[in-house]
Structure 1
Amino acid sequence: MYSSPRLSQLILGWPPFTSTPVPAYLTCRRWSRLPGLAEEGSSVSDESELIHQYLVEAAEAPSDGWVIDLGCGRGPTLAAFARTYPGMRLTGIDRSVESVEAAREMLADYSGRLEVLAADLRVPAPLPDGCADAVVSYNLLECLPDADPFFAEIWRLLKPRGKAVVAHVDFDSIVIEGADRQLDRQICHAFTDDQQTWMDHADGRIGRKLPGLVKASPLALTKVRTWVTSSTEMSGQAARRIDNIRQALTNSARRGTGLVALEEVDAWYAAVQESASLGRFFFAETAVVVSASRPA
């Protein structure tokens, strides 16, 4: 289910520094739900991404505990918890009503206690203090204008000694073989800095900032890891990431807010397709995974 030809993932842990190869699909977010190039939709993370199972393991929650997913989207991380711990209490929160409904539908057969709530995560969640054994969040933080209230909210929700796992792709880490050096850099940096219409805020370099943000929060930093994804074939989620870059930058160019011209986006996409047809394609991106806890 999670294997794909010539596709690899690498988890790097600190401390201590270790590396473990993991066969899997690619990590992703910022995917548009809508087909074509009409409009960007809210970000979507595919259930098949192995990183969701990794977040389950990193959370170290008791099998009968309460886990909260902030920015749960359509529920892929919740689904990973549900598969692993069928008796766990799960709560997901997302601002998108459509995503909340999709998560509820996907988890309709879950035997444990489940709540998926539509709420704005810029304000405190409608949940009691000190209720959660673990709080997880994947690819949410860049959309929030201020990180401090976010980490304060995680601290509020956690029980003493409760675990937090916050992960985010650093979009400025994206590597794609295809276009010439200048155009490649222009496109990748433009995507990193692009603020799509559904986003209140955007910081494509938030991944590298996560450790420092946690250190400055009430939480106690326990571990920092990187989740590196690579593919030598333009298929599956690698293809979807490239289509996402193309769509986001095309829409921004058409609105007159883009950092690159429409012709440059088209030239870059054609070069990537040619690279794939010649067997020279390569894609990689890095997510930063930070574990922390609420001190007793």
Structure 2
Amino acid sequence: MAPLTEGVHTLALEGGTLRYHVHGSGPVCVAHPGGPGFDWQYLRAPALEERLTVVYVEPLGTGGAGRLASHPHGYTRARYSRHLAALIDHLGVGRVHLLGHSHGGFVTQYHALHRPDQLAGIVLYASSPTTGPDFGAEIAARVGEFASRHVDAPELAPVLDAFAGVGAIASDADMLAAAKGVLPAYIAGYWDDVERWAPFRDGLRATYISGLDEHGAPDVVDDHAALAGLTAPALVITGRFDVVCGVRWAEDLHNLIPVSRLLVLERSGHFGHLEEPGLFAGEVCAFVTVGEGR
């Protein structure tokens, strides 16, 4: 089967087998999901597929892809970048656009810094230049704002409990329970239309990936200095109500990257491709198609 035929593909890599899923037609945009450990399907954006060939990565360690011998450790940005390099070469279309969501944004930044030759542009969607102490403090502040906006909601306490338990995640079941538990804080207006979001919540799948390398050391992100040397043009996207990778970090990325555009989705949290799908897809498609003429 040709590498860009619609459907499911596999690619043998060092350490295991990567899967990827091709949907749509048009210029190629490779999409890397977040977590790390979330199944790729949450990131699917049919509105993008109307104008782009979207190659959704199912990273090693997640879903039906293979697992490292050191699982749940060893899934570093460097390793994911090597896998992206192999995948992009395999696609055989030259330079592509790379879209990374959340942790996938961290991977996209790394790849753009280390393999700019493969990229026509990048979309940093709900990303951050750092995962240091300030990153955790910012999450705590944004969750506090969320709690203040919903102080009378009877459903608030379980959400805050889910956030408090994130540090104790140690299994796939823990990871999935945490993802579902914090979801109301990740989506602006979740409690205004719970029925709309029920299928998304029920369809979430996640694998526990530790965030440590194979030797047990944290795979910390600190791209502040390096991003000044990024050569690929970037579209930076965040949601106004994103409690994880919100406006502060998007503005930092935008200011650090030499050629970038910032889009703040004013009615979205962490999942703008679902919360404001038309605006999200329109801006991404415009960025990619203009980039095809660079």
TM-score tier by shorter-chain length is 0.3 to 0.5
Determine which structure has more spread, i.e. the larger CA radius of gyration: 1
TM-score by structure 1 length?
A: 0.35
The structure carrying a bigger helix percent of its residues is 2
The structure carrying a bigger strand percent of its residues is 1
TM-score by structure 2 length?
A: 0.35
